Structure 1
Amino acid sequence: MQMPAQSKAPPRDNHNQEATPFHDKQFLKAITVALMFFVGPTVAASARDARPVFSPTGPDASAYGEALGYPIGPPLKKQSNMVGNYSHADQLDPTHRVAADKPSLLRRAPQERALSYTFQGQTHSLQDYLDRNPTTSLLIVRDDTILFEHYQYGRTDHDRFYSQSMAKTITGMLIGIAINEGAIHSIDDVAQTYVPALTGMVLGQTSIRALLQMSSGIQFGQDYGGSDDDAKLTRMLFSPSGLSTSQAVSQFNIRADPPGTRWHYANINPEVLGLVLTQAAHMTPAEYLQSRIWQPMGAEADATWVVDHNDQEIAYCCFSATARDYARFGLMLAHDGAWNGKQIVPRQWVLDATQPVVAGSPLAIEQGPHPWGYGYLVWLMPGPRRTFVMEGVEGQRIFIDPATHLVLVHTAVRLKPTHDIGDSELLALWRALLDQTKAK
């Protein structure tokens, strides 16, 4: 088995700043960033067409480390380091590389998309949104055409942005491919069928379906407070604890609810699916992603996926890619798994994974006739229209509308992991964009 190339970083408490993977583009990038500081954010878009617009600054830039050049180093979520860390994760932790090959074509609209949206009783533009929110990249595409592409805080279209939990949806699509190929026999198989080390454990006796839908019933606290079960799992995965990844997840061995009866968001679920995928496919998730999705969809740049101290990908987070490659992934899902002239993810899997939930379903996150819901490691927006979103804490989002083939990619460095006011504003922006697109 040919393993994907690795980018080895020092341990978390002993960081350095080794070279990024874009060795052949570093000089160009340095010149581009330098020009931004001298001629301003419209250096690449003086005519306001749909080419990328780069800004050397952003909201509250001084607190985000502007004077220090947006430094890279621990801790990950220290405000002055977040811009650098969330675009250079491979300098903080070891990663597996996901190699690109031949890029698929993305065209550019002759003019940049303009949009007005209403939030808290006020009308705003896309630039207003960027002026007030700590967004590192905002990209809007439809079919094969880029409509809007802006970067802030000195970031460029060569930077790879940290996905946080958007990576979960990537894991879910890889599981669908493995089922289609027969590596996994059934979505209703239990995890121990493929991971013998989990035999007899509660997680081992949980179906792949329940793990995908966050309805495993496992008792697992996740409140982002730093002392919950999620923090405990992360420490075990990243510190040289002597535990294998399967031993680490097995520390959580209490079932609070029968599988499939209650939705509860927990990183432990996709982490077990990462083990299932590794064992079933006989290759790492990074290698599987590279051969099954990344190269077939025509990614233009290598991606990276952080691995734990056992060299196992963190299946619930920590994938990094350029904004345009995130857009290609979103466009592939918007076309029900097809892109670059290929059916990449089985169409029926994408449909099953992203169907709106009905009121009263265990996967309905709120009450009402058209509730928010959860599919196969993806968030389902209120229906009946099938629209869904990949989400990560601190503002990582990919909104996807299959009916119009519209995709919005958003990366950010918000200080609050959840319930930030920017979440509500971004949702208002997306809905206005969707209404505008449907009207055309």
Structure 2
Amino acid sequence: MPSSQKITVALLVVAFASSAGAAPDEDRLGRAKGYPLGTLGNFFYEESVRVGSFSAQGDIPGIKMNVLAPSVAPMVLSHSDSEPSIRWDVDHLKRLTVDDYLARQRIMGLLIIKDGVIQVERYQYERKPSQRFLSNSMTKSITSLAVGFALQEGKIASLDDPAERYAPKLTGTLYGGTTIRNLLRMSSGVRFTENYDGHDDLARFGRAAQREGVEAAAKLITEREAPQGTRFSYSSAETDILATVVHRATGMTLSEYLTPRLWQPIGAENSALWRADGTGMERAAGNFNATLRDYGRLGIVLASNGVRPDDPQQKQIVPREYLLDSTDWRRIPQAFQPGKATPYYGYGYQFWIFPGEKRRFALLGVYGQMMLIDPELKLVMVQAAVNATAKAGQTTLAKDADAFWRGVVRHYGSW
């Protein structure tokens, strides 16, 4: 067998490798039934259909998807000849491995890229590289990039304009009177409960938005707790309002707008799917679906400050200054810095910011979806997960993921 074929076979083995034993909670997650799809009503909450639903949301009956077409010149992702011996520590446990991480957590797919080369690619629960994984609130950062493009093109004149300037149907609502900048920082001051139990403001807002659109749903949220711009308070509705602003300012859906500006320029190999509401607009706070490798390609461009590193012309894709304003703790007010916005993370323009002197940031979604980026090391980690609870901090996932990421960073550099 030629050496090139041997390498290809070896890479396939690495790509489909998993932990030595069974993946966590396979039976509870639907293995006996072939990891079935859920329904429109239960796919987000019912764990027995979570694997199937989170890797094929577009196949759930009743869900409409908008499509972002792939690039005609995909970014080539090569594989390392061997998987690195990453080690990480958590609590009293020392020198844990990638296998240990997968054995401890409900990870469907894990991808680690260094300098544009795939170092680790693993799948569990019978998932495959060709499947599109639901990103949940990682999507918020993609919506933010749409705002950055609209600002660069003059479709949005200023981030300090109120949302209602571009979406007049929001006039008279609390969100309509909130500036785009404060929506980006989730600092509208509006009271909005988001605890993922199906009975909170998120569910109420979401049902109305699905039926009538975001502008109608905005009228349901009527209480302000603090002056806008003064504090961080996580609210998915604010991302949906941002999407409405972009839609009204550009006359396009987010998928139409971002396909030629983001998805194709980053070199996406496959189409992405984005769930739409009854009006045809994307549910922009979540519901974006792509392969793990295409998420990785996006991460590579973000780690390169908005440039595709394999482009000989080094054309700027994502507006550089907007991206830095979104992800650098030095550029954001104190109230939104790490340890202030939350006890751990800071919050930029719909991006999470790690504590520490060096610039590191994240796209995060409920149930354990993550893209973690270290621009200095050109290091990207993406995972698709099916955690037992929406909030990773309610299980060991948040602690393990942070410890594992720190181990990945230390393998290539220093924290």
* TM-score normalised over the length of structure 2: 0.90
- Could you say which residue in structure 2 is the equivalent of 1:306? 275
**Deviation per residue, 1:392-431 (Å, 9 max, x gap):** 0000000000111100001100111111211110110101
Does residue 432 in structure 1 map to residue 395 in structure 2? no
Partner SS, residue 334 of structure 2: coil
1:252 to 217, 221, 224: 221
2:140 is the alignment partner of 1:168: yes
**Matched residue, 2:38:** 73
Distance in 2, matches of 1:181 and 1:358, equals 22
How far is 1:96 from its partner? 0.2
- Structure 2 residue 361 is the aligned partner of structure 1 residue 388: yes
Residue 85 (1) aligns with residue 60 (2) = no
Letter in 2 for 1:147: Q
Structure 2 residues not aligned, in runs of 5+? 1-6
Does the CA-based 8 Å contact 2:213-2:277 persist in structure 1?
A: no
Specify the alignment match of 1:422 in structure 2.
Answer: 397
Deviates more, 1:156-165 or 1:201-210: 201-210
C-alpha distance in 2, partners of 1:380/1:146?
24
Aligned partner of 1:112 in structure 2 is 83
Q: CA deviation at 1:301?
A: 0.4
Work out the CA distance in 1 between the residues paired with 2:13 and 2:321: 34
Instruction: Show the counterpart of 1:159.
Output: 131
Paired position in structure 1 for 2:3: none
Is the contact made by 1:364 and 1:371 (CA closer than 8 Å) also made in structure 2?
Answer: no
> 1:336 aligned to 2:305?
yes
Taking structure 1 as reference, are residues 200 and 270 closer, same or farther at Cα in structure 2, changes over 3 Å only?
Answer: same
User: CA-to-partner distance for each residue in 1:195-243, whole Å, 9 max, x for gaps?
Assistant: 01012222111110000001111111112222111111112123x4xx3
CA 1:71–1:213: 2 relative to 1, 3 Å: same
CA distance in structure 1 between the aligned counterparts of 2:9 and 2:29, rounded to whole angstroms: 27
Measured after TM superposition, the shift of residue 50 of structure 1 is 8.1
> CA 1:275 to 1:251, structure 2 compared with 1: closer, same or farther past 3 Å?
same
AA aligned to 1:345 is: V
Counterpart residue number, 1:53 = 16
Distance between the aligned counterparts of 2:109 and 2:8, measured in 1? 15
Q: Which amino acid aligns with 2:321?
A: Q
Q: Any idea what SS the aligned residue of 2:277 has? A: coil
Offset at residue 373 of structure 1 (A): 0.6
In the alignment, the residues of structure 1 paired with residue 194 and residue 8 of structure 2 have an alpha-carbon distance, to the nearest angstrom, of 43
Contact 2:68-2:272 within 8 A present in 1 as well: yes
Equivalent residue number for residue 231 of structure 1: 203
Structure-2 change in CA distance of 1:398 and 1:50 (3 Å)? farther
CA, structure 1 residues 146+431, in 2 after alignment: closer, same or farther (shift >3 Å)? same
- Counterpart for residue 230 of structure 2: 261
Of 251, 255, 271 in structure 1, the residue corresponding to residue 240 of structure 2 is: 271
Separation in 2, partners of 1:78, 1:171: 27
Aligned match of 1:125:
97
From the superposition, tell whether residues 98 and 80 of structure 1 become closer, same or farther in structure 2 (CA, over 3 Å): same
Residue 13 of structure 1 corresponds to none
CA distance in 1, matches of 2:374, 2:223: 38
Secondary structure class of the residue paired with 1:296: coil
Determine if contact 1:98/1:287 at 8 Å carries over to the other structure: yes
Distance 1:90 1:69 in 2: 17
Secondary structure class of the residue paired with 1:386: coil
Residue 364 of structure 1: how far off its partner (Å): 3.6
| 1:257-289 Cα deviation digits (max 9, x unpaired) | 111101100011111001001011111001111
Q: What is the rounded CA distance, in whole Å, between the counterparts of 2:403 and 2:91 in structure 1?
A: 10
What residue is the counterpart of 2:258 in the other structure?
Answer: 289
| Contact 1:188/1:208 (8 A) holds in 2 | yes
Tell me which amino acid in the other structure corresponds to 2:152.
N
CA shift, 1:365, in A, is 5.7
Look up the equivalent residue of 1:52 and give its one-letter code: A
- Contact 1:49/1:112 (8 A) holds in 2: no
2:139, 2:284 within 8 Å by CA — same for their partners in 1?
yes
Q: Residue 28 of structure 1 aligns with which residue? A: none
1:359/1:421 CA distance change after superposition, 3 Å: farther
- Give the Cα–Cα distance (whole angstroms) in 1 for the partners of residues 214 and 88 of structure 2: 46
Name the TM-score, length of structure 1 as normaliser.
0.85
Q: Write 1 or 2 for the structure with the bigger share of helix.
A: 2
Among candidates 173, 187, 192, match of residue 159 of structure 2:
187
Q: Quote the RMSD (CA, aligned, Å).
A: 2.3
Letter of the aligned partner of 1:244 in structure 2?
G
CA gap of 1:360–1:302, structure 2 versus 1, over 3 A, is closer
Contact in 1 for aligned 2:58/2:65 (Cα 8 Å): yes
User: Is 1:134 paired with 2:106?
Assistant: yes
- Shift of residue 51, structure 1, vs aligned partner: 4.5
Residue-pair matches, total: 394
Distance in 2 separating the partners of 1:277 and 1:138: 32
Q: Rate the CA distance shift 1:115–1:46 in 2: closer, same or farther, 3 A.
A: farther
- CA shift, 1:291, in A, is 1.1
SS of the counterpart of 1:366? coil
CA distance in 2 between partners of 1:132 and 1:72 (Å): 24
Contact 1:221–1:230 under 8 Å retained in 2: yes
C-alpha separation between the residues in 1 aligned to 2:162 and 2:339? 28
In structure 2, the partner of 1:62 is 27
Aligned equivalents of 2:367 and 2:203: distance in 1? 16
Per the alignment, residue 94 of structure 1 pairs with: 64
